[in-house]
Amino acid sequence: MYRSLILAGAVVLATTACSSAPVAGIQPIDGVVSGQCHTDMVLGAAGLAASPATVERARVDSDSLHVQTVRDGTRQPATPASATSGGDRLTIHVGRNNAITALRCG
């Protein structure tokens, strides 16, 4: 009985250690970033914290070459806030609590 408990604990520990291995770099799903921004694949990022990892993941998933974060309320060039595709830059709007409030291309 005692041996089976130790063996079961060792198996659980080994499984947990394997599952917590860090993921190497953020890679695009299809293997390439086209450089043509589109927001349809990153709409789920709205509401998440704008951490460096989240911002980079959104850039890769939107197929953008560049990403820019702006605080809500700052002045921006006259680009439609609802631009869902076009250009090579993803612009991420961030609110006061560092949450992503909007994503647009251009």
Asked whether residue 16 carries a pLDDT value surpassing 50, the answer given is no
Cβ atoms of 12 and 18 closer than 8 Å:
no
Model confidence over 82-91: pLDDT tens digits? 577 778 899 9
Q: Is 74 exposed, middle or buried, given 0-12, 13-18 or 19+ CB atoms closer than 10 A? A: exposed
- Give the integer Cα–Cα distance in Å for 98 and 36: 26
User: Could you tell me the pTM of the whole model?
Assistant: 0.64
Model confidence over 19-73: pLDDT tens digits? 333 334 666 666 667 788 888 889 899 999 999 999 999 998 888 989 999 998 6
Q: Name all domains of the chain by residue range, CATH numbers in brackets.
A: 33-106 (3.30.10.10)
> Residue holding tokens 């060792």?
10
Mean pLDDT of 68-81: 67
